[in-house]
């Protein structure tokens, strides 16, 4: 804060925004002027790095010795820049504390800031949201996808040493019980695949009046959850074939099943994976919700 940068002499990093930097360095009508000023101030203040946040122009990183780096903003749309600077500081500090190189930590901070400016108001970014933003920034597919795209995404995740968790269901009327269950499942690994019965499959299992919500709506709602990485449909009565090709590290099912009753469990265990049964949260069920709606209860 303020225009006396000398108080920060010897700091690991100084992170002014562009307006704050220009108030001290003076006008920089050209990029070359800005680069020259950034290098000079980084050296004069004996900083490890000078990191200037430049709004829609991204972040500029100076080391005062070997050069500078400009990281373009990742945001597709900017709604509110409030809190972006704090996000940069927090993620940059966390990255460096974990031993990341300055350039990598700055890239991560840039992606995080680009994520928060795409939402209204002062918002924090959690680890799941940051992971999703990084995936989008590097072109890693996320959300609703077909089987081929899913297998590619799973292969990339495994190549990075990530643990893939898989579960399945109809998810006809998403309720808090579902969300708590999915969060518990996601906590068992790094990525969560949710396989969803298509409409014909639901009708065969639940009756002619189901599903209430069509497949694309059910999948879109699941994909919007931070705890869900990938959503894929299957047309069979059970996901056993799909589980066999995905080969999750952890297969999860909710309810009163035994492991031997879970479709695909034998194949997962034979491949060295783990099968877990998580208890459903009491007080919630799609059938119960539908009965209450039919009776006109709130």
Q: What's the token pair of residue 224? A: 């919007």
Place of tokens 């840039």: 110
Residue 63 has a CB neighbour count (10 Å cut-off) of 18
Q: Of how many residues is the chain composed?
A: 298
**Does the annotation mark 260 as catalytic?**
no
Per the residue annotation, which of 33, 39, 63, 86 is the catalytic one? 86
The tokens for 143 are: 């959300």
> Angle at Cα 117 formed by Cα 115 and Cα 119, nearest 5°?
85
3-class secondary structure, 179:
helix
The DSSP element (H or E) to which 20 belongs, if any, is helix 18-25
Radius of gyration of the chain (CA): 24
Burial (0-12, 13-18, 19+ Cβ within 10 Å), 81: middle
Please report how many Cα atoms fall inside a 13 Å half-sphere around the Cα of residue 179, on the Cβ side.
9
Helices (H) and strands (E) in the chain, counts: 12, 10
**Residue 5 phi, psi (nearest 5):** -70, -15
| Burial class of residue 285, CB neighbours in 10 A (0-12, 13-18, 19+) | middle
Is residue 229 within 8 Å of residue 142, measured between CB atoms?
Answer: yes
Catalytic residues: 86
């Amino acid at each position: 804060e303020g225009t006396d940068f000398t108080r920060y002499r010897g700091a690991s990093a100084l992170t002014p925004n562009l307006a704050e930097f220009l108030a001290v360095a003076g006008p920089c009508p050209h990029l070359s002027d800005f680069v020259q000023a950034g290098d000079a101030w980084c050296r004069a203040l004996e900083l490890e790095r000078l990191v200037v946040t430049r709004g829609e122009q991204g972040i500029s990183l100076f080391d005062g010795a070997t050069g500078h780096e400009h990281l373009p903003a990742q945001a597709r749309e900017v709604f509110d820049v409030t809190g972006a600077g704090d996000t940069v500081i927090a993620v940059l500090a966390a990255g460096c504390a974990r031993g990341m190189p300055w350039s990598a930590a700055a890239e991560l901070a840039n992606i995080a800031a680009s994520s928060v400016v795409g939402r209204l108001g002062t918002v924090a970014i959690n680890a799941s949201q940051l992971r999703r933003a990084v995936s989008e920034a590097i072109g890693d597919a996320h959300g609703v996808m077909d089987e081929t795209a899913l297998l590619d995404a799973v292969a990339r995740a495994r190549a990075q040493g990530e643990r893939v968790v898989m579960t399945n269901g109809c998810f006809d009327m998403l309720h808090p019980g579902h969300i708590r269950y999915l969060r518990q499942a996601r906590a068992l690994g790094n990525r969560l695949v949710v396989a969803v019965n298509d409409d014909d499959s639901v009708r065969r299992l639940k009756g002619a009046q189901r599903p209430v919500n069509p497949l694309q709506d059910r999948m879109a709602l699941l994909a919007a959850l931070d705890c869900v990485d990938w959503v894929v449909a299957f047309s069979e009565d059970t996901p056993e074939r799909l589980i066999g090709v995905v080969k999750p590290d952890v297969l999860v099912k909710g309810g009163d099943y035994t492991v031997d009753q879970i479709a695909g469990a034998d194949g997962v265990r034979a491949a060295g994976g783990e099968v877990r049964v998580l208890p459903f949260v009491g007080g919630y069920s799609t059938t119960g919700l539908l009965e209450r709606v039919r009776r006109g209860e709130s």
